[in-house]
Chains A and B, each alone.
Chain A
Amino acid sequence: MTEAAPERSLDAGEPPVEHRSRLRTTYETIRQNRLAVIGAFFLLVLAVVAVFADLIAPYTINEVNIADRLAAPSLDYLFGTDDLGRDVFSRVIIASRVSLQVGFISVGLAVAIGVPIGLVAGYYGKLTDSILMRAMDVLFSFPAILLAIAILAALGSGITNAMIAIGIVYTPIFARITRGSVLSVKESVFVRAARSLGASDARIIRTHILPNVLAPIIVQTSLSLAFAILAEAALSFLGLGVQPPAPAWGRMLNDAQGFLGSAPWMAIFPGLAILLTVMAFNFLGDGLRDALDPQQRSVIESRGVSK
């Protein structure tokens, strides 16, 4: 072969892309993605709202005002009132806290359990891999929402159990993604070189494999957050998740069913809140994927929750 060997003595071409500038290019790519930016912005606003909910909400969650029950949206009651005269707007705002909380903790759980499983399975391969992945397959055999319901039926309702249930349901996907990434990196040249130099397994995993596995995990986290919030809403709709008096978007929807004709705003706004939040996470996740890991297969997308 007669290709000239590149040297870095002369000024032609870009300097090699370093770690720091990769972060920058990711940031730049996302910034150009309008939808992702909108999503991120919305989430930021939502986070602020959730944290300062008590201050922002004009009424408290159980401020009953029978005289004003089933009132249409107005300046006094931005989203109208429900059958007990409670301000829907305040309840929606305060319920955001629950949704975000359950979402983050359950996904955090899924990551904390799933990623190590995937790392071990991918790295050590053979029997360990088979056993672990079969176990994940078993969890994959149940439609997500059904599994969550079954777990909650056994453990009982409540916010903690809901987080556990959703966490368990999303563990396999993180395990699978992590394992996939590990497999593709494991046989790469620099890992083999490190191993030939005598680096320990743990060290190899930490310094070589983990950074490359990070990208799909980050993408999946955002997407899973979207679905976790949907899941939480579905569970609280069914009365299985957060219990009263804490408000939850899903449960507000359930309560609204009986008043659909007389007070549709009871159903419209909480649902809209769920929709916008989930969309925001999805936009952000899609943007992250395009920036970090465009080849990630969308088999992941085919796994919905209440679908």
Chain B
Amino acid sequence: MTGFVIRRIGQMAIALFGVSIVVFALIHFVPGDPVRIALGTRFDPEIYEALRERAGLNDPILIQYGNWLLAAIQGDLGVSFRSGQPVTGIVLQRLPATMTLAGAALVIALAVSLPLGILSAIRSGSKLDYLATTASQVGVSVPDFWAGIMYILVFSLTLSWLPPSGYTQLSNDPLGWLSHLVLPAFTVGLISGSILFRFVRSAVLEALNQDYVRTARAKGLSQMRVIRDHVLPNAWIPIVTVVGLQLGFLLGGVVVVELIFAWPGLGRLALLAVEDRDFTVLQGTVLYIAFIFLLINLIVDIIYGWLDPRIRYD
């Protein structure tokens, strides 16, 4: 197990390294001068020079990368071209909102996909299975921004049950916080749940078809016990992996939904940065999201390794 963990950490480090190169390169692929573009009409030669200096853009490229990387490891991601504020601070400020949304969406997704997925697999071919599978096929195909807009149409504009957008602090107004969270969380959660459903179903189905299930039945175990003691413990393992992957995607993938619901998270930050041509902020955001994604993947892999005795006891 220890060897496994060390190898995975090593892999993550390499991937992170690669990610840093890509993120760093982003700013250099911009045709033209990124700082000048960012400043746009507010161009001022002094600010221009200062920003260029601060972003290290005057140094040769390898040195730039080295400095940038070192600073990044220590938590310094430069300053915003727009506001001059440190990027790290801006990103951290927005992080909780995105995590809340991703977390809530995942809860909804699991609540939907786990029971339905397991039942559909056990009663494969039944009406329930057919309905659930078809529903999930629709769910997987729905554009999340359209779903969000439709929900707003129905629940906010037509029925006036829920607010169409915005965010309130949990500490200020718990009920308000919840009511603002519902629509965006369901928008993402139902779609994510559809993806998970298909996977849960196939994982359980595959476990059901294994020889050891036949052995368990041949010993006289009831269907319930077979599922509880033999099918599910095996099915959990691949399911955990996918759930982890989904969480990772949710963190960065809620971009458009955050925009529609004016949710003050990382995704919206990234989009605003793109609009403003604020490349350092964009870099910082993307780097953070990728880092968290890789971290989640690592944790998921370790959990997977721990759950599977073939890896744990080796």
- Contact between chain A and chain B defined by CB under 8 Å: yes
A4: Cβ under 8 A from any B Cβ: no
A267 & B150 in contact (Cβ 8 Å cutoff): yes
A142 & B143 in contact (Cβ 8 Å cutoff): no
Task: Choose among B22, B31, B249, B282 the residue that contacts A307 (Cβ–Cβ < 8 A).
Answer: B249
When C-beta atoms are compared, the residue in chain A nearest to B157 turns out to be A261
A77: Cβ under 8 A from any B Cβ: no
B-chain residues with CB within 8 Å of residue A237 when the two chains form the complex: 145, 256
Task: Given the known inter-chain contacts A240-B274, A256-B149, please indicate yes or no for A134 contacting B18, CB distance below 8 A.
Answer: yes
Task: Given the known inter-chain contacts A267-B150, A268-B150, please indicate yes or no for A146 contacting B252, CB distance below 8 A.
Answer: yes
A-chain residues with CB within 8 Å of residue B26 when the two chains form the complex: 150-151, 153-154
B-chain residues with CB within 8 Å of residue A238 when the two chains form the complex: 256, 259, 271, 274
Task: Choose among A134, A143, A155, A253 the residue that contacts B145 (Cβ–Cβ < 8 A).
Answer: A253
A178: Cβ under 8 A from any B Cβ: no
Stretch among A66-74, A198-206, A209-217, A272-280 lining the B interface? A272-280
A-chain residues with CB within 8 Å of residue B192 when the two chains form the complex: 304, 307
A35: Cβ under 8 A from any B Cβ: yes
When C-beta atoms are compared, the residue in chain B nearest to A300 turns out to be B199
A145 & B143 in contact (Cβ 8 Å cutoff): no
> For the complex, would chain B's binding face be called helix, strand, loop or mixed by DSSP majority?
helix
Task: Choose among A134, A154, A299, A307 the residue that contacts B15 (Cβ–Cβ < 8 A).
Answer: A134
> For the complex, would chain A's binding face be called helix, strand, loop or mixed by DSSP majority?
helix
Task: Choose among A151, A154, A279, A307 the residue that contacts B144 (Cβ–Cβ < 8 A).
Answer: A307
A282 & B141 in contact (Cβ 8 Å cutoff): yes
A134 & B14 in contact (Cβ 8 Å cutoff): yes
A-chain residues with CB within 8 Å of residue B188 when the two chains form the complex: 307
| Per-position binary interface string of chain B over residues 272-306, scored 1 when its CB falls under 8 Å from any chain A CB and 0 otherwise | 01100101001000100110011000000000000
B253: Cβ under 8 A from any A Cβ: yes
B311: Cβ under 8 A from any A Cβ: no
Task: Choose among A138, A267, A299 the residue that contacts B149 (Cβ–Cβ < 8 A).
Answer: A267
B-chain residues with CB within 8 Å of residue A253 when the two chains form the complex: 143, 145-146, 149
B91: Cβ under 8 A from any A Cβ: no
Stretch among B54-62, B175-183, B223-231, B240-248 lining the A interface? B240-248
B-chain residues with CB within 8 Å of residue A301 when the two chains form the complex: 140, 195, 198-199
B-chain residues with CB within 8 Å of residue A153 when the two chains form the complex: 26, 30, 273-274, 277, 279, 282
Which residues of B in the span 182-201 have a Cβ within 8 Å of any Cβ on A?
Answer: 188, 191-192, 195-196, 198-199
> How far in angstroms is the closest Cβ of chain B from A148?
10
Task: Choose among A142, A264, A271 the residue that contacts B146 (Cβ–Cβ < 8 A).
Answer: A271
Task: Choose among B149, B256, B260, B290 the residue that contacts A141 (Cβ–Cβ < 8 A).
Answer: B290
When C-beta atoms are compared, the residue in chain B nearest to A274 turns out to be B143
Cα distance A137–B144 in the bound complex, in angstroms: 26
B198 & A145 in contact (Cβ 8 Å cutoff): no
| Per-position binary interface string of chain B over residues 147-171, scored 1 when its CB falls under 8 Å from any chain A CB and 0 otherwise | 0011011000100000000000000
Cα distance A144–B245 in the bound complex, in angstroms: 12
Which residues of A in the span 219-269 have a Cβ within 8 Å of any Cβ on B?
Answer: 226, 230, 233-234, 237-238, 240, 250, 253, 256-257, 260-261, 264, 267-268
Cα distance A286–B188 in the bound complex, in angstroms: 23
Cα distance A151–B23 in the bound complex, in angstroms: 10
> How far in angstroms is the closest Cβ of chain A from B288?
11
| Per-position binary interface string of chain B over residues 106-139, scored 1 when its CB falls under 8 Å from any chain A CB and 0 otherwise | 0000000000000000000000000000100110
Task: Choose among A230, A286, A304 the residue that contacts B137 (Cβ–Cβ < 8 A).
Answer: A286
B250: Cβ under 8 A from any A Cβ: yes
B64: Cβ under 8 A from any A Cβ: no
Task: Given the known inter-chain contacts A230-B143, A271-B149, A307-B253, please indicate yes or no for A138 contacting B22, CB distance below 8 A.
Answer: yes
Cα distance A152–B143 in the bound complex, in angstroms: 20
Cα distance A142–B245 in the bound complex, in angstroms: 11
A283: Cβ under 8 A from any B Cβ: yes
B-chain residues with CB within 8 Å of residue A298 when the two chains form the complex: 198-199, 202
A93: Cβ under 8 A from any B Cβ: no
> How far in angstroms is the closest Cβ of chain A from B224?
26
B248 & A143 in contact (Cβ 8 Å cutoff): yes
B157 & A260 in contact (Cβ 8 Å cutoff): yes
Task: Given the known inter-chain contacts A145-B255, A279-B141, please indicate yes or no for A150 contacting B282, CB distance below 8 A.
Answer: yes
When C-beta atoms are compared, the residue in chain B nearest to A283 turns out to be B137
B153 & A264 in contact (Cβ 8 Å cutoff): yes
A156 & B248 in contact (Cβ 8 Å cutoff): no
Task: Choose among A143, A278, A279 the residue that contacts B253 (Cβ–Cβ < 8 A).
Answer: A143
B contact set with A: CB distance below 8 Å: 11, 14-16, 18-19, 21-23, 26-27, 29-31, 134, 137-138, 140-146, 149-150, 152-153, 157, 188, 191-192, 195-196, 198-199, 202, 238, 241-242, 245-246, 248-253, 255-257, 259-260, 267, 270-271, 273-274, 277, 279, 282, 286, 289-290, 293-294
A149-B274, A267-B149, A301-B199 given; name 16 further pairs at CB < 8 Å.
A35-B137, A138-B19, A141-B16, A146-B255, A150-B23, A150-B270, A237-B256, A240-B274, A257-B260, A260-B149, A275-B142, A278-B141, A301-B198, A302-B245, A304-B249, A307-B253
Question: Can you name 29 A-B residue pairings with CB atoms under 8 Å?
Answer: A137-B18, A139-B22, A141-B293, A143-B248, A143-B289, A150-B23, A226-B141, A234-B143, A237-B145, A238-B256, A238-B271, A260-B153, A267-B150, A267-B153, A270-B146, A275-B143, A275-B146, A278-B143, A282-B137, A283-B137, A298-B199, A299-B241, A301-B199, A302-B242, A302-B245, A304-B253, A306-B253, A307-B144, A307-B253
A contact set with B: CB distance below 8 Å: 35, 134-135, 137-139, 141-147, 149-156, 226, 230, 233-234, 237-238, 240, 250, 253, 256-257, 260-261, 264, 267-268, 270-271, 274-275, 278-279, 282-283, 286, 298-299, 301-307
